[in-house]
Amino acid sequence: MSIRTRLAPSPTWYVHIGNLRTALYSYLWARHNQGQFIIRIEDTDRTRLVEDAVDKIIGTLTEVGLRPDEWPHHDGGFGPYTQSERTHIYGPMLHKLCEEGSAYYCFCTSERLTELREEQEMLKLPPGYDGHCRHLPLEEARERIANGEKYTIRLKVPKNEILIFNDLIRGRIEFNTNQIDDTILLKSDGIYPTYHGAVVIDDDLMKISHVMRGEEWISSMPIQILTARALKIKLPEYAHLPSVLGNDGKKLSKRTGDAFVSEYIARWYLSEALLNFLSLLGWHPKQDEEIMTMDEMIAKFEITDIHKSGAVLDPIKLDWMNGEYIKRMELGELHTRLAKYLEEYSPEFYANIFSQKDYNYNTRIIIELQTRMKRFDEYVSLTTCLYGDAHIRTDLLANPKMKIETIEQGIDALRFALSILENADYTSLDTLKTPILEAIASAGRKNGQILWPLRVALSGEEFSPGAFELAYILWKDESIKRIQNVINS
């Protein structure tokens, strides 16, 4: 069987974290099986169309690397992929169900349905259609339609039947049909199907083999099972994915950290890190790996390794993972991507500082921060002492923990450091470091006694990169200037 998965966004969607995870799993499963990943637009709710939404959805997916094989502008032989362009397909199939008796025409007006709902609310009865038109003879219904009366098509749900369905993640799930309404399949405009009227037909015609979607869709299974039975078609396999939860254990919402993916990847995270992170929100690969390339994820992905329980989105872990991707990035690429980021999100810093420094100066800083920076937005705050002038902080020179009891001892250490740094080799961190350590040892001094004041003089800060890293980044002239400024203060 060829494996075909689909993502079925409505044009009200913006791709947020939960949807991206659904897209990712659908993509991984298709690729794992050399199958196809399809985007179908479910736009039958004509009152809730969002302009540009379709382009934005496909744009975001493509940008993060989840390029579909078939989508509205790329027909793989199963198009059109937009439901509003497929209305000629649904109508005849749904009318046939009425002829066959598994669905029926309903002429109840919206006023009657509103009254019914109000009455049910008052009597504290569960809401639902009361079956008013369920037993209308077909002949009579046909006549009323011919006379121009408005109608909908409703599924004729059998009474008191147990439906069994086997979810790939949750296993066997049972439903009693008594809990299900005679759901509308074709709307009163006579043209547009409802979500239920279209989804089963399209999954079948597009030869979808596996549907992955959020667990909130489990409740729609009985309707889809009955619709498929009426249409005499086989349903795909289903994997209902666990919800993505915020730190408070509740389903992720805007307030608890959900966000549009486009914002996430533009402003905070590398898309490859975000995808890797999302892959683990509910999926646990057998080998316990955490950092995986897309190819590794594709190779390892199995639906049976997805768990049932909700997956908590831990922003600290996401930051950590992003940092791991920064660490592993090739230096040239890191430089380019960081510069692009700064240009967009810290334009003043970029224009007045970053792009004013020579390429190698910036590169030395990037090398130093590559192992410490978790996100690009930290770059500006972590580098103030490297791009600006250092403060003169003689108060920080003494440090009893380093056995520097007085400021004078600190100044003395700086004179010693200066004599070495004036003749040091700044070609690399190593050529700089080794002779300094040797000089300290042969003078019979302790590393901390020299390196602490040196670091303070070079950075002017309580916390900063180490003394060697600072000297290497600043290079000879700037290092010497900063040390002299402190000595002469």
- Find the shortest distance in angstroms from Cβ 45 to ligand GLU: 9
- Find the shortest distance in angstroms from Cβ 34 to ligand GLU: 23
- Find the shortest distance in angstroms from Cβ 216 to ligand GLU: 9
Q: In this complex, which beta carbon is closest to ligand GLU, that of residue 9 or of residue 193?
A: 9
23 in Cβ contact with 179 (< 8 Å): no
Is 217 a binding residue for ligand GLU by CB under 6 A? The answer is yes
382 in Cβ contact with 372 (< 8 Å): yes
Q: Is the dihedral of CA 168, 169, 175, 177 positive or negative?
A: negative
Distance set, CA 295 to CA 50, 301, 330 (Å): 34, 10, 18
- Find the shortest distance in angstroms from Cβ 268 to ligand GLU: 25
- Find the shortest distance in angstroms from Cβ 217 to ligand GLU: 6
Pairing of strands 237-241, 152-155: unpaired
Tell me how far apart the alpha carbons of residues 268 and 323 are, in angstroms, rounded to a whole number.
11
Residues in binding contact with ligand GLU, number by CB under 6 A: 7
Is 10 a binding residue for ligand GLU by CB under 6 A? The answer is yes
Rule CB under 6 A: choose which of 213, 240, 364, 433 binds ligand GLU.
Answer: 213
Q: In this complex, which beta carbon is closest to ligand GLU, that of residue 4 or of residue 482?
A: 4
Instruction: Return the amino acid letter for 253.
Output: S
Q: How many CA atoms lie within 13 A of 97 on its CB side?
A: 27
Q: In this complex, which beta carbon is closest to ligand GLU, that of residue 281 or of residue 411?
A: 281
R_g of the chain, CA atoms, integer Å: 32
Could you say which residues in the range 297-316 bind ligand GLU, by CB under 6 A?
none
Tell me how far apart the alpha carbons of residues 467 and 433 are, in angstroms, rounded to a whole number.
9
- Find the shortest distance in angstroms from Cβ 240 to ligand GLU: 10
Q: Judged by CB under 6 A, which stretch of 4-12, 91-99, 181-189, 385-393 contacts ligand GLU?
A: 4-12
Tell me how far apart the alpha carbons of residues 266 and 192 are, in angstroms, rounded to a whole number.
37
Whether 446 is a known active-site residue: answer no
Evaluate the omega torsion of the peptide bond into residue 158 and state whether it is cis, within 30 degrees of 0: no
Degrees to nearest 5, angle at CA 266 with 264 and 271 = 70
DSSP 461: S
Tell me how far apart the alpha carbons of residues 237 and 6 are, in angstroms, rounded to a whole number.
12
Q: State the binding string over 36-55 for ligand GLU (x if CB under 6 A, else -).
A: ------x-------------
Rule CB under 6 A: choose which of 20, 30, 97, 199 binds ligand GLU.
Answer: 199
Rule CB under 6 A: choose which of 4, 5, 8, 21 binds ligand GLU.
Answer: 8
Of 124, 159, 234, 254, which one is the catalytic site residue? Answer: 254
Give me the residues that bind ligand GLU (CB under 6 A), please.
Answer: 8-10, 42, 199, 213, 217
Active site residues: 254
